[in-house]
Amino acid sequence: MTAVSFSTLGDGLTLLAIPWLTSSLTSNTLLVSLVSASMVLPWLLFSLHVGVLIDSVSRKKLLIYSIISRIVLLIILILIILTNKVNIPLLILIAFGLGITKVIYDSTSQTVVPNLVKVEHLEKANGYVMTSRLTMSDVLGRALGGMIIPIGIMLPFTVDLILLIITLPFILLIKAGLTVKQTSERTRISEGISFVLTNPMLKYLSFLGVGITLMFSATLSIQVFFVREILNLDSFGFGILISVSTIGSIIGSQTISFIKNRWGFEKTILISLLIMGLTFGAVGFAKNPYFVMIMYFIGSYFIVIWNVSNLSFRQKVTPNEKLGRVGSVIRLLSWGMNPIGMLFGGSLVTFFEPIIGREFALRIPNLLLGVIFICLTVVLYRLINNLNKNEGWNNLKSESNL
């Protein structure tokens, strides 16, 4: 937990600082989207292969190598800022490298929880882990980033570097064995894909995740311009906005067990998806930062309810020896859409700006998100109704404590 806290605090600093650094170099939304997309493109390119690695080699070594690689990349970034050599192509390359290390670290760390707790406690355990991530990354990390960016854009990356160095000894204390699979990589990837496709709910949620992540990424890619130009906030205000929304996420992570026990798995994910659409869609109409803050708070609460519900469901129905690969398939179809969504968001604004003006163009990604999420809620409702007619699904729900 300590290692997660330190590394995610640094994540929050860097994730806030890179788009802010990019937006100080250019006002072109498409270029800023390219840099943001390069940070998440590795989820699309390498998720499946990383999943195989997780189920095949020492998970401890994967964590160590990912941290060391991130340290090297941050040193390079700090040096080019110090020497005033920073430019968009270099930022894209470094952001891409940092994205690769994040795929490895996040994917590996996510497979540990099911080995530590009983199945009936997965929601609560995942909620605690997510609380740690959110508190350190999105509340402390981004708020701290917003405060220190005005002092110097290099500071967030320097603090991230120091925190990673502190994290390494904690990772070295982890006891992790080596699991070796003798089958080919293609066979192991196929096993993960096959497992997802043969479980109807996993399959539905995976493909719904494509649309969900695509639209969230579209809004995030232009968020820095929305905050600067429509809400008229500086970097500190941006950090506070994100931090307040993350407080909603933290409350969600602490109440997920209660919500799931009260509503059940199916009702929980339906309500979560609908409210995400209503709140983040409403942001597209807003100009008042306090209203946006409230919408972010509520929407972020249900993002966590949705994510933890999905993660816990996957952990309950997936054998431990396949967790890495099954998780990688899910992440490919969801997080792998991040770069496409970010480019889509930047392209939307670039296309509509000459037609309807920059302000209204910056609102379009959020408005479109609202419409699509409401439509996806209707689709999910119908899929669940059809699934509940299946005796095998009802038996699985009972066996897995859903």
Which DSSP string corresponds to 227-295?
IIIIS---HHHHHHHHHHHHHHHHHHHHHHHHHHHHH-HHHHHHHHHHHHHHHHHHGGG---HHHHHHH
**pLDDT attached to residue 355:** 94
Helix axes 200-221, 358-387, angle to 10 degrees: 170
Contact between residue 333 and residue 209 where contact means Cβ atoms under 8 Å apart: yes
Closest by CA to 145, choosing from 287, 246, 29, is 246
Give the burial string for 215-244 (b: 16+ CB within 10 Å, else e).
bbbbbbbbbbbbbbebbebebebbbbbbbb
DSSP string, 309-333: HHHHHHHHHS-GGGHHHHHHHHHHH
**Contact partners, residue 326, CB within 8 Å, separation at least 6:** 51, 192, 195, 196, 202, 314, 318
CA atoms within 13 A on the CB side of 59: 22
Residue with tokens 């109704």: 385
CA atoms of 66 and 124, how far apart (whole Å)? 27
Give the burial string for 348-370 (b: 16+ CB within 10 Å, else e).
bbbebbeeeebeebbbbbbbbbb
Report the alpha-carbon angle 204-205-206, nearest 5: 90
Q: What is the pLDDT of residues 284-333, one digit of tens each?
A: 999 999 999 999 999 999 998 998 888 888 878 887 777 778 877 887 88
CA atoms of 287 and 22, how far apart (whole Å)? 24
Contact between residue 103 and residue 50 where contact means Cβ atoms under 8 Å apart: yes
**pLDDT attached to residue 313:** 84
Q: Which residues of the chain have pLDDT under 50?
A: 177-178, 180
Burial label, 158 (beta-carbon count in 10 A; 0-12, 13-18, 19+): middle
Contact between residue 52 and residue 332 where contact means Cβ atoms under 8 Å apart: no
Contact between residue 4 and residue 132 where contact means Cβ atoms under 8 Å apart: yes
Report the alpha-carbon angle 298-302-305, nearest 5: 145
- Domains located in the chain, CATH noted: 2-173+185-399 (1.20.1250.20)
Contact between residue 14 and residue 156 where contact means Cβ atoms under 8 Å apart: yes
The pTM of the whole model exceeds 0.75: no
Contact between residue 380 and residue 208 where contact means Cβ atoms under 8 Å apart: yes
Q: What is the pLDDT of residues 123-182, one digit of tens each?
A: 666 666 666 666 665 556 666 776 777 788 888 899 889 988 888 887 777 665 445 455
Residue type present at position 297: F
